[in-house]
Every structure is written in C-alpha cells, then in structure tokens.
Structure 1
Amino acid sequence: MNIPFGRKFKLGLVINPFAGIGGSVALKGSDGREIREKALAAGAPQLAMQKAQTALNECSDISDYYEVYTGAGAMGEDTAVLLGLTAHIVSNSMPLQTEAEHTCQLVKALENEGVDLILFAGGDGTAINVCESLTKKIPVLGVPAGCKIHSGVYAITPRAAGSVLAQVIKGNLVSLVQAEVRDIDEEQFRKGKVIAKHFGELWVPESLQYIQAVKMGGKESDELLLDDIAEYLTEIMQDNEDYYFVMGSGSTVDAIMQHCNLPNTLLGVDLIYQNKIVKNDVNAQELIELTAGKPTKLIITLIGGQGHILGRGNQQLSPAFIQQIGKANIVLVATKTKIQGLAGKGLISDSGDHDVDHSMLGPISIITGYRDQVLYYVGV
C-alpha cells in the first residue's frame, strides 16, 4: 500500500482517562476532583482508554499510514503502546489524576506540532477543553466516552469514529463540517434538570454524502455553485478585514472577484485589501514586498483534471511567498465536480522548492459551496 500523502499522517491523540467514570456509580458526571475520587473509591472502571482503542482498531490495517502524537501515560501513550503504534510524546508532565488543564496543555502541544487531526476520547467537558485550546483550524473527531454527550463533535460510537478516521488517513474525500460543542450543568443534572449550553464550534470530518441542490455537470449548475462559493468567500473576507487577500488565477477565483465587483486578471494574480484593489497582475517580487509583515491569505483553486494547486499557471506565487504566509493561510476553493474529476488522485504542489512542497503534503480543506467544505489531501 502506498501512503497517499507522501508522508505519514500525523494523528494527535488525546484521552481523558477519567471521562465517564462517574456514570457506572450513579454520580452523573465526572467533572471535578472530588467526583473522580468518589468514583475511583467506589470501584468505577476507567473506560476511555478502551474506547479509544476500539476506535483505533478500525485503522489496524493502515497502521503504516500514520503515526501518533500524544501525551504521556494514560493520556494516550499507554494506548498507543498497547496497539503497537509509533508514538511521539509531546507532553510529558502528566500526573496520575489529570485535570482539564492537562487536556488543554496537550491540545496546545499537538497544535504546535502541526498534527493533521486530533482524535480525542472524553465527554462534553473534554470537548470544551479542546475547543478553548485550539487557535488554528485543525479537524477534530470525538470518541464518545463521557457520561454526557450533548456535543455534535462526537461520532455515534467509538467504532464509527475509527471508521471516519480511517477514511481521512487513506486520503478519501470526506465532508468537513462545523459541529457544536455543548455542555450541561452537572449540579443541576444531579437535581434532575438538564440545562445544556452552547460553548463553541469545532471542525469535524464526517462520512461524505454527495447531495447537491442542483444537478452537477451543467453550465447552470456550475454557475450556481460558483455563486455559492463567491458568497461564502465574501463573508470570509468581511470577517478578516485586516487581512490582505491574494487572488490567484482561474475562472473560480474570477467568479469571486466579479461577486466583489472588482477587476480581475484572469490569468494573473491580484492583491486586494478591504474590498479594494491594491494592485492587479502582480509579479512574484511585488507580491512578497507588498505583503511583507502584513496578515495575508491566498485564495487559489486547482487545475481541473490535473489537481495542481501550485506551480501551474501561478508562478507568481513563489516558494518565498508561500513560506511567508504558511499553509494555514491558503484558502483553496473548487467545485465538487472538479474534485471528483481527479478520480481519487491527490492534489499536487509543484512550487519548485522541495521544502515548500513537503510542507503542503497532507489534508487540506477545500471550500466547495456556501458554508460547505470537504477535507481532501495534497499528495506527491
């Protein structure tokens, strides 16, 4: 089997060892040291590690595809070792009884490590810890192990979580959706009241269901889809008004510029700021100079049938510029028709610089419609 990304998938693993520990002994939760101590004293089993193992067992036939980045001991290392997986420990100082702060510490370390996805086993409290710790758009996937599972970031079962994870690691096309993080007040829950509150959202992969409002393949369909993409990108620009936006070449990006009522260089690169043209048809050196030290996002599409995102028709996007802004600030847009036309082949970065191309390998989010995204991959 060939590794689709050209490198091993970097899987972040977070296990809350005490998730759900109060359930079997009727404590209706596991938040707080006192509750956990009561549960342990009552002989409550710790099942989160077992549930994480169930999820990872669904990826047993592709263990050569990925490696695990995790915390010491029960927060992930023990489970990885038990399954014979390569484990990199990114957070060593973990006490026997971990707290929310240790989950947050581990999540931040995984973000700094640049993992492709974070798999976490816990309950709603763990989901909140993950949500409040992440600052980048890293996909996450929850393995249900807590007493309370009100958040939409969890798969329906540990096995289902493993199934979706396997699809992502194999480089299959999956949807990428924003799912809600919620939690309930445990004190009120113990009094028989369920008060669930919204906390935030996380990006979660889910099994792809290609259901479109319009027939794919026709001119009218493509125009409607491009309108949807353009509308969503306009919102993103408004939400990031302090950013400079570099608009790549091609008809998909042209549709966005038309939606913004801005002149566009169809086969060139344009720079805009706060919905105004800074310069049309910039060259490579101008682009570096005009964006140096400024928050910048790049909007590009892929070449249909080939899958190139860098190095074909957009040489103005030099390796130095890509290094300057980083992969996290690249916004990739394409219709699902275009992606399906790749027939499973990975996207291609051919910038002319090995280090830049290597940094692009792995999963990448693609905007395919209004608030509609998929997770695909850049290969070799």
Structure 2
Amino acid sequence: MRRIGVVVNPIAGMGGRVGLKGTDGKVAEARERGAEPRAPDRAREALDELAHLDADVELVTPGGVMGATEARAAGFEPTVVGPTPDDAETTADDTRAAVRAFVDSGVDLVLFAGGDGTAVDVAETLAELDDRTPILGIPAGVKIYSAVFGVTPRAAGHIAGTFQRTAEAEVNDIDEDDYREGQVRTELRAIATVPVAEERQSSKQLGGGSVEALAEGFLDDVEPGVTYVLGPGSTVGRIKRGLGFVGTPLGVDVYRDGDLLARDAAESDILDAVGERNVVVVSPIGGQGFVFGRGNQQLSPAVIRQCDVEIVASRRKLDDVGVLRADTGDPDLDEELRGWHRVRVGRVERRLVELV
C-alpha cells in the first residue's frame, strides 16, 4: 500500500484571474476583487483521478480545507494528522506543520496543491528534517516555475498513484512584488526528490532569439474592429510595442482600433472589453510549452471561449518546448484545445505544433 500525504494551500492561485499575479500578501485584496478559492477544486480533480485508478493507496491529510474535505469528497477516508484550521486563512506555518506530521506518519509521497511558494514550504521542511520523501505538486498557483508539478491536476493524480522511480528536480520561486512590476528574478530554493514521469513539467526557462519578424507579420494582419487580448511575455510585448503602447510585461492588455481598452486586465475587465470578433494572443512558456494556465489565469475559460487563439513563438522556443500544453481549469476546454495549431514563427511562416 502507498501512503500519500495530501496538503492543500486553499488560498493559492486566488490572485490569478483578478490580475494580481500571485497571492503573497494579497489575499484580502484578491477577495475584494471577487476572487474565489482555486486550489481546493484543483486538488479534488487530482484526487478524483487517483480514485479512478483504484490503486492501493491510503491518504493522510490535515483536517478541513487543507486536505480532508477534498479527500472525502473524492471518496477516500483519510487519516487526519497535523493542523485543522477553522477557515481558509491558512499560513505557510500550517503547510510546514502538515509536512512534519506526514514524515512522522511515514508517508511515501507528499502531494500538495499550490504554487511555487507552497513547493518551497514543502521542500524546505523536508530538507530541515533531512528527509528525502518524494514530493509532487498539483498546479494551483499563478506562477509555477518549479519542476515538481504535474502538467495538470489529473496528471498529478495519475502520477501519484502509478510512479515507480524518483529523481531530483529544482524548486524555484520569484519575488511576487517584483513580478507585479514586470521583473522576473528566479531563485533556486531547494532540490527535491520527485516522481519520474513524462507528465511532470520542466523547470521554466526563458526563451531567446529575435521575434522582430513574427511581430511585424502579426502587425501586418491586424484587422479593424477586432479586439486583441494580448497575453504576457516578451514575445507578445514586442507586438504591443508595435501597436503603439507599452504593455504590461507580465499582465494582459486589451486593444482595438488604436485604443488600449484595458491595461493589466483582470478576467472581468477582459470580458467587459471584448466585442463581436476577438483574438487572444499568447506565447508558450519557454521550457514548458504552456499557452494557458501558467501566469495568465486572467485568460479564463470564459475569455478563451469568446476568442480565436493566435499563438506566436520564435523557432528556438518551439524547438525547446517540443509540444504545447494548456491547463485552463476546464477539462472540456483543454480537450477542445488539443490538436495541431499553426504557430506564427516569422513574418509569414507558421509551424504546425501539437497541443497535447
């Protein structure tokens, strides 16, 4: 029997769809903007997949919203250890206490729902205990730069129940205040033991190479009356400059007919701004291939369903990522997006790349 410790950071990812680019120190503001908890649903999706495997597993969880609630909803009867918070306002100390309780309980894997901050809490606690228990993340944060996460919640659940081997992987984090100002400074925080699986994501790397030609080609094709929802990143940033404005480097901007309709837009701002014809423009994350669900949760399923999707990337970046990925939080939409996409790589050149 495999004993799996499951811990949920219930506030992880709340800032994404309301444009905060993270939740560190921003929980109250996220709630004021109408943010809803995201991590519990992502955890439930992973545990549903684990239950579907009908594997010989036992779950060990903290009480309430930190794990037991989601485990029971998925049909498990977990052993409850560690903290049992009264509400969803949990802290890093609660996560760390749960991990220590897991080690005392002899778990074979720590499965956590959160983002890079949660990964750091888990990995650093294990390092302090000099313990090499494998860890695996259910992606629920805004920014996910670490190589310890499943590519989707269901992938994480599948890996948790089936992995046979382990390896070492990086746990990275960035300063969210710098991130909100458009600066990405990645810091290696820990080396963790992780399951070996194709559905575990790679560490985030920044793509290189000129994007001038593809930006010029995109600008040639801009049409009157079309609303362009422009995602984050340096590649799309070059397009924004070509349209005549300095966009939000790590946010979403909305443009139509020479006017900047929304800058650093939240999901609600985008939905207010879209028109009859809309195009969402994104570039895959270097080293990972995600076009939706990593750092751009403002591009929610409701937004994506109202838009045509335009993907732009340098040839070098596509060579590095190999395939594209999406983790929108809506499995039906993820399925609709799967298949071959024509990615703009030059002024007129496009390349067929599969979204898996």
Using structure 2 for the length normalisation, give the TM-score. Answer: 0.53
Is residue 7–residue 95 contact of structure 2 (8 Å, CA) maintained in 1? yes
Structure 1 residue aligned with 2:194: 204
Q: Deviations for 1:170-201, whole angstroms, at most 9, x for unmatched residues?
A: xxxx3311110000111111111111101011
Q: Which amino acid aligns with 1:77?
A: A
Q: Which runs of 4+ in 1 moved over 4 A?
A: none
Q: Distance in 1 between matches of 2:160 and 2:135?
A: 10
1:1-380 correspondence runs (5 A): 8-32=1-25, 35-63=26-54, 65-96=56-87, 97-134=89-126, 135=129, 136-168=131-163, 174-207=164-197
What is the Cα deviation at residue 47 of structure 1?
Answer: 1.2
Q: Deviations over 1:223-273 (max 9, x none)?
A: xxxxxxxxxxxxxxxxxxxxxxxxxxxxxxxxxxxxxxxxxxxxxxxxxxx
Gaps of 5+ in 1: 1-7, 169-173, 210-380
CA distance in structure 2 between the aligned counterparts of 1:64 and 1:127, rounded to whole angstroms: 25
In structure 2, distance between residues paired with 1:108 and 1:166:
22
Question: What secondary structure is seen at the aligned counterpart in 2 of 1:127?
Answer: helix
Deviates more, 1:125-134 or 1:47-56: 47-56
Asked whether the equivalents of residues 80 and 86 of structure 1 are also in contact (C-alpha less than 8 Å), the reply is yes
Counterpart-to-counterpart distance in 1, 2:106 and 2:74: 23
Q: TM-score, normalised by structure 1?
A: 0.49
Give yes or no for contact 2:115–2:139 (8 Å, CA) kept in 1.
Answer: yes
- What is the rounded CA distance, in whole Å, between the counterparts of 1:36 and 1:128 in structure 2? 19
Q: CA deviation at 1:93?
A: 3.8
1:41 CA drift (Å): 2.1
d(CA) in 1 for partners of 2:141, 2:52:
28
- Structure showing greater radius of gyration is 1
In 1, the alpha carbon distance for the partners of 2:52 and 2:180 equals 43
1:159 Cα shift? 1.4
**Across the two proteins, how many residue pairs are aligned to each other?**
195
The residue type paired with residue 110 of structure 1 is F
Cα distance, 1:92 vs structure 2:
3.5
Q: Is the 8 A contact 1:117 1:140 kept in 2?
A: yes
SS of 1:155's partner is coil
Give the conservation status (yes or no) of the 8 Å contact 1:12–1:70.
yes
Indicate conservation of the 8 Å contact 1:48/1:121, yes or no. yes
Letter in 2 for 1:122: G
- Unpaired segments ≥5 residues, structure 2: 200-356
Q: Determine helix, strand or coil for the equivalent of 2:37.
A: coil
Which whole-Å deviations, capped at 9, do the CAs of 1:321-352 have from their partners, x for residues lacking one? xxxxxxxxxxxxxxxxxxxxxxxxxxxxxxxx
Q: Percent identity of the aligned residues?
A: 41
Equivalent residue letter for 2:12: A
1: CA distance, partners of 2:162 / 2:192: 19
TM-align CA RMSD: 1.6
Please say if residues 66 and 84 of structure 2, whose CA atoms lie closer than 8 Å, have aligned partners that are also in contact.
no
| Residues 50 and 158, structure 2, Cα contact 8 Å, conserved in 1 | yes
For the Cα contact (< 8 Å) 1:153–1:179, is it kept in 2? yes
Question: Does structure 2 retain, via aligned residues, the 8 Å contact 1:14–1:70?
Answer: yes
Q: How far is the alpha carbon of 1:95 from its aligned partner?
A: 4.0
Distance 1:64 1:196, change over 3 A: closer
CA distance in 2, matches of 1:81, 1:167: 21
Structure 1 CA distance, aligned partners of 2:146 and 2:138? 11
Residue 108 of structure 1: how far off its partner (Å): 0.7
